[in-house]
Amino acid sequence: MKVFIFDLDGVIVDTAKYHYLAWKNLATELGFDFTEEQNELLKGVSRVRSLEILLDIGNVELSENKKQELLAVKNTEYLEYVNKMTSDEILPGILELIDFLEEQKISFSLGSASKNAPLILKKVGLFDKFSAIVDGNDVSKAKPDPEVFNIAAKKLNAKPENCIVIEDALAGVQAANIAGMTSVGIGDKKILSEADFILANTGELTIQFVKNLIV
């Protein structure tokens, strides 16, 4: 029996735009610009690692205390956006897919780097749908380490070869591949070329596509 593991940002909702606004404000305060293109580097990456990448871009060195302070500032602003989220922000095709999986009694878990994942899922009304939620609070190693997906597989009582991971970030696709799971990449073919299957967007996650995956 196959099971599914969903990434959150970029697969279920597009929170990248809110991360971007909060990181950009932080960069402005630190005196440098942060572009949307540079924001691509932060997708799927943990909060702490995101700050390190941002500081590298701005060529800024800070004490550990200051970094902790800025992480809190960034997250507070990010949560202001998250708190306004509704089910309208669920990406195309996802609700239909979740309905189909429920109908077929196929279990599915979250496998996200975000420590805010439970709150985001509650805001968009999907928290109770998942058999398991594995997020940034449960892992010590970030993607591409497969830890997050291995924990999810365990919680779903599934062997890696029966897990299908839906991911938008290269690090996530790599984590799924290392775990021996099937990887479905959502996004740019060139960036996600290591994925077993690549779809341009979640709208292409059709029931027919999923039926072919689970036979």
Residues serving a catalytic function are 7, 9
Q: Segment contacting ligand B16 (CB under 6 A): 6-14, 55-63, 85-93, 125-133? A: 6-14
116 makes contact with ligand B16 (CB under 6 A): yes
Looking at the Cβ atoms of 1 and 200, the one nearer to Mg ion is 200
Burial class of residue 77 in the structure, from the number of CB atoms within 10 Å of its CB (0-12 exposed, 13-18 middle, 19+ buried): middle
Residue 58: partners with Cβ closer than 8 Å, 6 or more residues away:
27, 30, 31, 32, 34
Looking at the Cβ atoms of 68 and 193, the one nearer to Mg ion is 193
CA 97 to chain centre: 17
* Pairing between β-strand 182-186 and β-strand 197-199 as defined by DSSP bridges: parallel
Residues 74, 22: contact at Cβ < 8 Å?
Answer: yes
The distance of closest approach from Cβ of residue 207 to Mg ion in the complex, given in angstroms and rounded to an integer, is: 22
Q: Segment contacting ligand B16 (CB under 6 A): 7-15, 25-33, 187-195, 201-209? A: 7-15
Residue 20 main-chain phi, psi, to 5 deg: -60, -45
Q: Segment contacting ligand B16 (CB under 6 A): 26-34, 61-69, 112-120, 122-130? A: 112-120
CA 135 to chain centre: 9
Looking at the Cβ atoms of 107 and 114, the one nearer to ligand B16 is 114
Please choose which of ligand B16, Mg ion, none residue 136 contacts, taking the beta carbon within 5 to 8 angstroms, the exact cut-off set by kind.
Answer: ligand B16
Interacting residue ranges for ligand B16, rule: CB under 6 A: 7-10, 19, 42-47, 50, 75, 112-116, 136, 169
